[in-house]
Amino acid sequence: MLLALGLIAGASAVEAQDLGRPTGSLEVTTDHRRRGLSWSDGDPALDAIVSVPVAGLRLDARATTLRGARRHGGADVVIDPSVSYSRDLASGVSLNVGATGHFFAGSDVKADYGEIDLGLGYALGPLQLDLAANYAPDQDAIGGDNLYLQARASAGIPGTGIEVAAYVGRTSGSTDDPILAARLRPELKSYVDWGVRVERRFGPLALGLRYSGTDVDTRAVVASPFADPDDAGDRLTAHAVVFF
């Protein structure tokens, strides 16, 4: 958490003339899911993202409605500030490093935590391949530490405005407090998640579907107020996004 805040504060101190054009998006979805788990208790959610390039860095701010999600202590909104640095290693190959904080407004518990991010990307024509690792050091709010590894592929279909993406990920970690560790690992052990997204662009608007699933045994989810078995099953969701 301290690393995330330190990086963000440092990047914010860069001179204003180094700021690039900000971009962003606003999405409405039937269920907000991350790493195969619902973060909005299966309810519709709004997700807003703003990104600003700053002298070789990228500052992102994300806010998502959680609708009083049990997973995060009844929080109404999660705010995710992040800072990242990217550089090209070779033709089509890029490296990304950064840090992200997760701050939960309206939570009844101390739910905030931070992660360190690392990514490697490869672009080949319309095909984009990405490998990512997100590590949350041992923190009270998540009852231990947490490591998420993901492989992702995406490609636009030329002349159609359609993009297809697929991923597979794995979550693992240690457990200090089983009640809180169940927030991110419902069975207190490693699990695998996967998903597919199909999206059609109409200028600044996109409409799409997402499917996500996990190998979590919903019958074995820990009896914790932060882990709902219904949040870990297979789910098909719909979304609409406006880009600006």
Q: Tell me the pTM.
A: 0.91
Check residue 90 and give its pLDDT: 95
- pLDDT band of residue 12 (cuts 50, 70, 90) is very low
Check residue 233 and give its pLDDT: 87
Residue 55, pLDDT > 90, answer: no
Mean of per-residue pLDDT scores for the chain: 92
Nearest to 4 by CA among 98, 143, 97: 98
Task: Identify the helix (H) or strand (E) that includes residue 178.
Answer: helix 178-181
Residue 46, pLDDT > 50, answer: yes
Residue 171, pLDDT > 70, answer: yes
Residue 5, pLDDT > 80, answer: no
Task: Show the domains of the chain with their CATH numbers.
Answer: 2-235+238-242 (2.40.160.40)
Residue 4, pLDDT > 50, answer: no
For 159-175, b/e burial (b = at least 16 CB within 10 A) is eeeebebebebbbebeb
- pLDDT band of residue 19 (cuts 50, 70, 90) is low
Residue 85, pLDDT > 90, answer: yes
Residue 2, pLDDT > 80, answer: no
Q: HSE on the CB side for 149, CA within 13 Å?
A: 6
The 3-state DSSP class for residue 114 equals strand
As a 3-state breakdown, the chain gives helix, strand, coil percent values, each rounded to 5, of 10, 60, 25
Q: What are the tens digits of pLDDT across the range 93-111?
A: 999 999 999 999 999 999 9
Mean pLDDT of 128-137: 98
Mean pLDDT of 183-193: 98
Check residue 16 and give its pLDDT: 36
Of the chain, the percentage scoring pLDDT greater than 90 comes to: 89
Placement of tokens 């490693």 in the chain: 190
Among the residue ranges 15-19, 146-150, 152-156, 211-215, the one predicted with the least confidence is 15-19
Of the chain, the percentage scoring pLDDT greater than 70 comes to: 92
